[in-house]
Amino acid sequence: MSGMAAVLAHEIKNPLAGIRGAAQLLEDGASADDRSLTQLICQEADRIRALIDRMEYFGDPRSLARTPVNIHEVLDRVRRVAETSFGRNLRLVEIFDPSLPPVLGDRDSLIQAFMNIVRNAADAVAPDSGEIVLTTGYRPGVKVATPVAGNEKRQRLSLPLEVTVRDNGPGIPPDLLPNIFDPFVTTKSHGAGLGLALVAKIIADHGGVIECESQPRRTLFRVLLPVAPQNQTGTGHV
């Protein structure tokens, strides 16, 4: 996947910029009718570029810049963006545990991850009675067995930070549920099926775990994350 993303980015972005530029040049001398076509070329080129940009993330070998991050600040940002755009008519509820310690994370990537989950929830719920609930909690006893790269054995990691995103939409079809974190799995006519694949990568890069359970009127994404070591001070404390 990462190799493919890198090749695609390289081989498509440059000719695409050429196509877009040529369409823009044509636009100058075009009639009103033809101009709507050149604009369509530009818009579609932009859409492909945005898709490639998202795919490129999978091939990005840079490691995350991880610092202590206040996850409530991350979720607040997601909520505020949602409320002013795609989630304008929804009820967005926050149930936060105020004693939560900071997560060792990359703030922008975490915003992107939770934005994708909330965006899906907003897409799924009914416009008039949609409700999305964001919760956080501290579960010090939670240990998760995760595979370690290059090692047959599994390591038991402590992932005490729990963030959940719940919605009251129709739920994810049972046959789709096992594959929702795979790339290109989508039921939307304009969906790329990359949102949750990106989320899964971001959470895995944080050493965390994501799981999903779904039934009609109750779809829940649960993210478990490690806390920042105590000697790392930052702005993360609530």
Ligand X SMILES: Nc1ncnc2c1ncn2[C@@H]1O[C@H](COP(=O)(O)OP(=O)(O)OP(=O)(O)O)[C@@H](O)[C@H]1O
Residues that bind ligand X (CB under 6 A): 116, 120-121, 124, 167, 169, 172, 180, 185-188, 191-197, 219
Rounded to a whole number of angstroms, the minimum distance from the CB of residue 59 to ligand X is 17
Taking the CA atoms of residue 153, residue 59, residue 206 and residue 70 in that order, the dihedral angle to the nearest 10 degrees is 180
Rounded to a whole number of angstroms, the minimum distance from the CB of residue 166 to ligand X is 9
Is residue 236 a contact residue for Mg ion (CB under 5 A)?
no
Site residues (CB under 5 A) for Mg ion, limited to 7-36: none
**Of 74, 167, 148, 160, nearest to 113 (Cα)?**
74
CB nearer to ligand X: give 57 or 96: 57
Report what 194 binds from ligand X, Mg ion, none; CB cut-off 5-8 Å by kind. ligand X
Is residue 120 a contact residue for Mg ion (CB under 5 A)?
yes
CB nearer to ligand X: give 70 or 116: 116
Rounded to a whole number of angstroms, the minimum distance from the CB of residue 134 to Mg ion is 17
One residue of 183, 195, 208, 236 binding Mg ion per CB under 5 A: 195
Rounded to a whole number of angstroms, the minimum distance from the CB of residue 235 to ligand X is 30
For 76-143, give the DSSP string: HHHHHHHHHTTTTTSEEEEE--TTPPPEEE-HHHHHHHHHHHHHHHHHHS-TTT-EEEEEEEE-TT-E
Rounded to a whole number of angstroms, the minimum distance from the CB of residue 222 to ligand X is 13
CB nearer to Mg ion: give 160 or 195: 195
Contacts of 172 (CB under 8 A, 6+ apart): 180, 212, 214, 219
Taking each continuous run of H as one helix and of E as one strand, the counts in the chain are 5, 9
Q: Which residue is nearest to ligand X (CB)?
A: 195
Contacts of 193 (CB under 8 A, 6+ apart): 182, 183, 184, 185, 186
Q: Are strands 131-138 and 91-95 parallel, antiparallel or unpaired?
A: parallel
Select from 45-53, 112-120, 137-145, 169-177 the region that touches Mg ion (CB under 5 A): 112-120
Rounded to a whole number of angstroms, the minimum distance from the CB of residue 86 to Mg ion is 11
Contacts of 108 (CB under 8 A, 6+ apart): none
CB nearer to Mg ion: give 86 or 96: 86
Report what 124 binds from Mg ion, ligand X, none; CB cut-off 5-8 Å by kind. ligand X
Distance CA 127, CA 45 (A): 30
